[in-house]
């Protein structure tokens, strides 16, 4: 069955549809970008609620501050796109996960004014007001090439004109996500994200590699988004393509000014290095370079030239996402003579094999390309052209026995044909109608394909204003009904992608509601088989070794993620919750959530005690100890007998705040109510109430009470509340601020005013979880002043603006801050997806 939705937009550009790993479809039009979100309402075949929610972004609009107006340049460097373009979106591409807030994907937007910008959402992605342009990559190119003014150009001589050419962007491609170390993938998170690199081509024959950083990708160290050029390579054109004064139109068209297409292959692991191949097209040929990456550094290999492939007015180029045995990569080139199917070595970028297939005499451009790399079959290539998709017999090719074989009409093309026939009948056109196919994209798990198309009359003028025009996105399955239950790829995926696939599987294969629990159980087993736990640590000694470098927060995050987030038993419980939410089985998930919480609290006790020196981290540690004690009391040690591990008796000889006393040796630490200052005992994992009856939710990771608005994020799938990352940083920076400034204000009510170390007492948190209780006389600091002071500090100031050095740092766009390596940061950074269902956070 196909899922069809009608969009209020008019797509009018090539390759302008992309489906992100987070499950968001982005569709570019002349006036805006349309984002499509699957609705989270319960699926009902009789419901009237649309299955997709729409959000529009005004991507072509730039402010003067973002992009100052430019005067027309000289004839040699003049570009209609830069000076007088309407800035329509001509290409979009989602970044790999991990760049945007909550480890989501950012959207790269290439507009007709030759500008590449990065968009992301700061809050709930379904809210249009939360989306914004975070970065313009052209500014990084201008800054970089300004320092390379002595590098000659084959197009222009004046320095100002050279910089202008080198700042324009003609093509781009994201570096794919780094592969997982194990044979199986991971749902919702990654052990290694790596840097987010984009390759761009400017108008002076440069291939430039730019690293994009955000507060998320830098673990909160950077305050804003930034772009920095890592390396660049200069393409030297043939002498026949160089004209000192190109006064004739023929010379200007023949002149080699820029690289028209870029494609970046998947990574392969070779020892400690990652290898991939970047291909780029010139006027006359296609060229390739091997890219090596390790430890945040990138290397460029020797250039390989593939002669005889002209792509300047054709294209695109598309790598297969699957690496074959022997480190072989598959590349599809759409040239003037047809499709060229290359097998390329990842070691030196040389061509191993090639196959060709004609394109049925097409004269229009290829508008969409999608690879289908099902495990049980040979790779298949789906492609569409703008005008001739329905008239040409070839829409999908299969590579078998080193030959390309044309297959029958795929389901997505049948949907377009049905839509065209309905349009003809509805308007009485008697078959005089045509369809334009604007692009293809595949779903996060590669089991569905979305085709964007529009229908028009073919024997008359089409009347109507642009606002009345429509485009249609038809989503069709790439699998037959007997193959749909084998659709989970062995690679890193997101929980949102899994949920969409599970919903469609339940819709298409389960007709009897009584069989839904059995189906859910089957899906849990398949998920656990496909996305098993990676190789972890065998005993407590190996865990302690993994935590030995307490100053390297990245290694601590990876180790704790293996121990806690990717625990084998936790994974099975997490998949049970995920499938239950996706299929709406109605079964209770309280027990799996409790077991996940217990294992998380137990794993936290093994972290080095030096991470718990701040009051906020110490309080989190104690909350987890109380959780362990509560569950042990309720279950009468049944869980302990089933899962023996260190620290599960509720004691910690090395990790308590004092470092040398167990939980029974210090006074119980409890929250206090912001409204009445009454204590809040730990009696439940998800909610809390003070002794006077005021109720609050608990954070799903720290299990601290959430008593103020604006400090919470939620799981986008199961809606579990968590403390926001900004709040965690604020709490830890407050401790760092007080220690560096020598202040003696109490962060925890058990801290003495004379600076002695606390031995017990109730802990009070600042900035909104609990109101600061103040000194011994009961007079607390002004609450709003405290918030403003702390917020000013985390932004880089001291509240009173007295530190001139700090103020100078704020003027630097690349300002970075030093953050303490603490237990709280390790916990929240390692659990960068929901610990209970792997869903991405929102808010």
214-228 per-position pLDDT tens digit: 999 999 999 899 999
Contacts of 760 (CB under 8 A, 6+ apart): 666, 667, 750
* Confidence class for position 47, pLDDT limits 50, 70, 90: low
Q: Tell me the average pLDDT across 322-337.
A: 89
For 381-454, where are the alpha helices, taking DSSP H only? 411-426
Number of helices and strands (H, E) in the chain?
Answer: 17, 36
- pLDDT tens digit sequence for 94-108: 999 999 999 999 999
Q: Is the pLDDT of residue 557 over 70?
A: yes
Span 679-699, mean pLDDT? 89
Of 375-384, 541-550, 601-610, 790-799, which gets the smallest average pLDDT?
Answer: 790-799
pLDDT tens sequence across 436-466: 999 999 999 998 999 999 899 998 888 877 6
Q: What is the overall mean pLDDT for the chain?
A: 81
CB-CB contact of 781 with 772 (8 Å): yes
Residue 299 within a domain: no
- In tens, the pLDDT along 166-188 reads 999 999 999 999 887 666 678 99
797 or 612: which leads in pLDDT: 612
Residue 618 lies in a domain: yes
Angle at 368 between CA 421 and CA 40, to 5 degrees: 75
Which DSSP symbol is given to 35? E
Give the chain's domain count.
1
Handedness of CA 680, 709, 216, 834 (dihedral sign): positive
pLDDT of 512 strictly over 90 = no
Structure tokens that stand for 145 in this block? 């090439």
pLDDT of residue 752: 33
Q: Which of 606, 605, 604, 572 is nearest to 591 (CA)?
A: 572
Q: Is residue 440 part of a domain?
A: no
Judged against a pLDDT cut of 60, whether residue 372 lies above it is answered with yes
Which residues form the domain of 828? 604-802+813-842
Is there a contact between 268 and 326 (Cβ–Cβ < 8 Å)? no
**Three-class DSSP category at 14:** coil
What pLDDT, on the 0 to 100 scale, is given for residue 408? 85
pLDDT of 229 over the 90 cut: yes
Q: Among 268-282, 461-475, 703-717, which stretch is predicted with the lowest mean pLDDT?
A: 461-475
- Which H or E run includes 229? strand 226-234
Kindly tell me if the per-residue pLDDT of 688 is higher than 80. yes
Residue 613 lies in a domain: yes
Q: Residue 50: pLDDT above 90? A: no
Q: Quick one: 296 exposed, middle or buried, by C-beta within 10 A (0-12, 13-18, 19+)?
A: exposed
Tokens coding 88: 């329509």
CA distance 388 to 395: 10
Category of 801 on φ-ψ map: left (φ > 0), alpha (ψ -120 to 50) or beta? left
Tell me what percent of the residues of the chain surpass a pLDDT of 90.
Answer: 45
In a domain, 565, yes or no: no
13 — pLDDT class (breaks 50, 70, 90):
low
| Higher pLDDT, residue 664 or 557 | 557
482 — pLDDT class (breaks 50, 70, 90): low
Whether the predicted pLDDT of 810 surpasses 90 = no
pLDDT in tens, 114-151: 999 999 999 899 999 999 999 999 999 999 999 887 77
∠ CA(359), CA(364), CA(367), 5° rounding?
85
261-284: per-residue pLDDT in tens?
999 999 998 888 999 999 999 888
Q: Is residue 541 part of a domain?
A: no
- Residues 675-680: contacts with CB under 8 Å, at least 24 apart: 677/771, 677/773, 679/762, 680/705
Which residues, listed in sequence order, are joined to residue 285 by a DSSP beta bridge? Answer: 307
Q: With respect to residue 36, please indicate whether it lies within any of the assigned structural domains.
A: no
Residue pair 349/288 in contact (Cβ under 8 Å)? The answer is: yes
Give the CA distances from residue 612 to residues 82, 204, 605, 617, in Å, rounded to whole numbers and listed in that order.
54, 53, 10, 5
Q: Band the pLDDT of 694: cuts 50, 70, 90.
A: confident
Give me the residues paired with residue 602 across strands. Answer: none
Residue 221 placed within a domain: no
pLDDT at 250: 74
Tell me the C-alpha to C-alpha distance, in Å, between residue 517 and each of 195, 247, 495. Answer: 41, 73, 20
Residue 154 pLDDT more than 60? Answer: yes
Q: Is 612's pLDDT higher than 50?
A: yes
């Amino acid at each position: 069955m196909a899922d069809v939705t009608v969009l209020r937009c008019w797509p009018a550009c090539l390759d302008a549809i992309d489906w992100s790993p987070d499950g968001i479809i982005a569709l570019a039009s002349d006036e805006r970008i349309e984002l499509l979100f699957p609705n989270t309402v319960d699926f009902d075949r009789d419901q009237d609620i649309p299955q997709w929610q729409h959000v529009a972004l005004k991507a072509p609009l730039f402010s003067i501050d973002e992009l100052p107006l430019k005067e027309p340049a000289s004839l040699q460097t003049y570009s209609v796109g830069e000076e007088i373009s309407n800035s329509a979106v001509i290409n979009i591409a989602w970044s790999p996960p991990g760049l945007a807030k909550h480890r989501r994907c950012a959207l790269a937007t290439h507009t007709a004014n030759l500008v590449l910008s990065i968009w992301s959402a700061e809050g709930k992605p379904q809210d249009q007001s939360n989306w914004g342009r975070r970065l313009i990559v052209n500014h990084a190119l201008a800054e970089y090439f300004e320092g390379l003014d002595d590098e000659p150009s084959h197009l222009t001589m004046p320095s100002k004109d050279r910089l202008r050419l080198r700042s324009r962007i003609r093509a781009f491609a994201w570096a794919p996500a780094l592969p997982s170390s194990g044979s199986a993938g991971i749902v919702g998170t990654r052990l290694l994200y790596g840097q987010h690199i984009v390759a761009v081509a400017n108008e002076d024959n440069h291939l430039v590699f730019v690293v994009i950083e955000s507060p998320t990708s830098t673990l909160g160290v950077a305050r804003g988004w930034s772009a920095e050029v890592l390396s660049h390579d200069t393409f030297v054109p043939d002498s026949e393509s160089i004209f000192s004064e190109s006064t004739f139109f023929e010379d200007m068209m023949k002149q080699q000014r820029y690289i028209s297409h870029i494609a970046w292959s998947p990574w392969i692991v070779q020892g400690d290095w990652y290898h991939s191949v970047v291909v780029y097209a010139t006027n006359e040929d296609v060229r390739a370079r091997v890219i090596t990456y390790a430890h945040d550094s990138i290397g460029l290999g020797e250039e390989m030239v593939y002669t005889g492939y002209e792509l300047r007015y054709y294209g695109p180029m598309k790598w297969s996402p699957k690496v074959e045995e022997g480190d072989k990569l598959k590349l599809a080139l759409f040239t003037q003579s047809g499709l060229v199917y290359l097998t390329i070595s990842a070691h030196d970028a040389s061509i191993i094999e090639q196959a060709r297939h004609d394109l049925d005499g097409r004269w229009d451009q290829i508008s969409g390309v999608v690879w289908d790399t099902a495990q049980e079959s040979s790779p298949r290539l789906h492609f569409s052209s703008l005008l001739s998709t329905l008239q040409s017999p070839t829409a999908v090719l299969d590579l078998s026995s080193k030959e390309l074989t044309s297959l029958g009409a795929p389901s997505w093309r049948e949907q377009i044909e049905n839509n065209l026939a309905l349009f003809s009948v509805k308007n009485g056109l008697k078959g005089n109608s045509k369809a334009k196919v604007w692009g293809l994209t595949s779903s996060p798990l590669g089991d569905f394909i979305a085709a964007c198309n529009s229908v028009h009359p073919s024997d008359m003028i089409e009347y109507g204003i642009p606002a009345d025009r429509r485009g249609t996105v038809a989503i069709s399955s790439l699998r037959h009904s007997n193959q749909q239950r084998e659709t989970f790829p062995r690679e890193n995926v997101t929980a949102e992608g899994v949920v969409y696939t599970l919903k469609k599987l339940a819709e298409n294969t389960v007709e009897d509601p009584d069989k839904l629990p059995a189906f859910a159980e089957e899906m849990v087993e398949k998920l656990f088989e496909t996305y098993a736990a990676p190789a972890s640590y065998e005993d407590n000694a190996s865990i302690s070794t993994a935590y030995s470098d307490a100053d390297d927060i990245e290694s601590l995050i990876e180790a704790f993620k293996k121990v806690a987030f990717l625990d084998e038993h936790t994974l099975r419980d997490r998949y049970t919750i995920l499938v239950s939410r996706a299929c709406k089985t109605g079964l209770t998930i309280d027990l799996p959530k409790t077991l996940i919480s217990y294992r998380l609290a137990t794993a936290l006790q093994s972290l080095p005690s030096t991470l718990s020196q701040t009051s906020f981290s110490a309080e989190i540690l104690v909350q987890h100890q109380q959780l362990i004690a509560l569950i042990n009391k309720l279950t009468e040690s049944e869980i302990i007998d089933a899962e023996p591990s260190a620290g599960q008796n509720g004691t910690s000889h090395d990790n308590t705040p004092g470092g040398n006393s167990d939980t029974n040796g210090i006074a119980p630490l409890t929250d206090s109510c912001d409204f009445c200052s009454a204590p809040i005992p730990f009696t439940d994992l998800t909610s809390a109430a003070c002794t006077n009856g005021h109720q609050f939710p608990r954070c799903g990771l720290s299990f601290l009470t959430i008593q103020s608005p604006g400090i919470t994020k939620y799981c986008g799938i199961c809606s579990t509340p968590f403390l926001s990352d900004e709040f965690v940083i604020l709490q830890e920076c407050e401790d760092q601020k007080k220690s560096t400034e020598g202040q003696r204000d109490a962060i925890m009510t058990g801290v003495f005013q004379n600076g002695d170390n606390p031995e017990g007492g109730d802990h009070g948190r600042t900035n909104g979880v609990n109101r600061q209780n103040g000194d011994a006389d009961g007079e607390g600091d002004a609450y709003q002043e405290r918030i403003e002071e702390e917020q000013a500090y985390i932004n880089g100031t001291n509240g009173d603006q007295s530190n001139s050095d700090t103020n100078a740092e704020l003027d630097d766009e690349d300002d970075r801050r030093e953050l303490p390596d603490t237990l709280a940061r390790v916990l929240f950074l390692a659990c960068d997806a929901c610990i209970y269902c792997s869903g991405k956070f929102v808010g």
